[in-house]
Homo-oligomer: A and B are copies of this chain.
Amino acid sequence: MRLIVARCSVEYTGRLDASLPTAVRLIMVKQDGCIAVHADGGAYKPLNWMNAPNTLVEADDLLVVTNPKDERLVIRLEEVFSDTTVLMGEDPGLTKDGVEAHLQELLALTPGVLGEGTVLVQREYPTELGPVDLLCRDGTGVAIAVEIKRRGEIDGVEQLSRYLERLNRDGTLRPVRGILAAQVIRPQARALAQSRGIECVTLDYDGLRGMRPDELRLF
């Protein structure tokens, strides 16, 4: 990784046009060729950047980065305060715990929390509009489409509504109940769900984890 601290101005042309007047900034050039220009505030977003794959040409006081999609980043260096290169090697990468996929996995193992007698039919049940997270049947045999979210918001209700509309066209499934299952559900999402006859279930991630049959046996 190459770290340049310099007074510079930057122009980007591509998906839109953006320009950055002169100031002192950090320019990060990474091993894979991608570039980010950071100011001294706001952790996340670079002011300007260019992702790999791209081509970096250095000429005089200019850094010109172009990519196959005809995007172009031009950095004019006006005063370089430091320019150092560090060898870092491969990164082993991040492991995450608690994303939507884990919720789905856990809920698939314990569908009973959606109601006494509920059993799993299929995960990622396909429809024309995309896969339903879980297809279940309740204690009386009625089909349930379950949309799982970490945070239940209005989008999730819309998504489930679209699936339900499609699933209810299928005579072998109809009528299909809808359940939005999430760790927290926003009042607005709850209201919209109710107005469409969609049920809301709040999930307790640690609770679900505790109910996994394989883990129960350990204690």
Query: In the complex, A23 Cα to B86 Cα: how many Å?
Result: 13
Interface string of A30-66 (1 = CB under 8 A from B): 1110111011111111111111100000000000000
Interface string of A9-40 (1 = CB under 8 A from B): 00000011111111111101011101110111
Chain A: interface size category = 35 or more
CB-nearest residue of chain B to A19: B95
Closest residue of B by beta carbon distance from A205: B16
Which of A96-104, A136-144, A174-182, A210-218 is the contact stretch? A96-104
As for how many copies of this chain the complex holds, the number is 2
Please indicate the chain B residues that have their CB under 8 angstroms from the CB of A52 in the complex: 41-43
**Are A28 and B43 in contact (CB-based, < 8 A)?**
yes
What does the 1/0 interface line of A116-141 toward B look like (CB < 8 Å)? 00000000000001000000000000
Set of chain B residues within 8 Å of A1, measured between Cβ atoms: 26, 38, 40
A3 within 8 A of B: yes
Question: At the interface, yes or no: A91 with Cβ under 8 Å from chain B?
Answer: yes
Separation of A192 and B129 alpha carbons in the complex (Å): 9
4 cross-chain pairs, A with B, having the tightest CB-CB distances, nearest first? A16-B98, A34-B43, A39-B91, A40-B88
Contacts from A to B (Cβ < 8 Å): 1, 3, 5, 15-26, 28, 30-32, 34-36, 38-52, 81-82, 84, 86-99, 129, 150, 155, 158, 162, 188, 192
19 A-B pairs whose Cβ atoms sit less than 8 Å apart in the complex: A5-B88, A20-B94, A21-B92, A23-B89, A24-B88, A24-B89, A30-B41, A31-B40, A32-B41, A34-B42, A34-B44, A41-B52, A42-B51, A43-B52, A47-B94, A48-B94, A81-B86, A82-B86, A158-B158
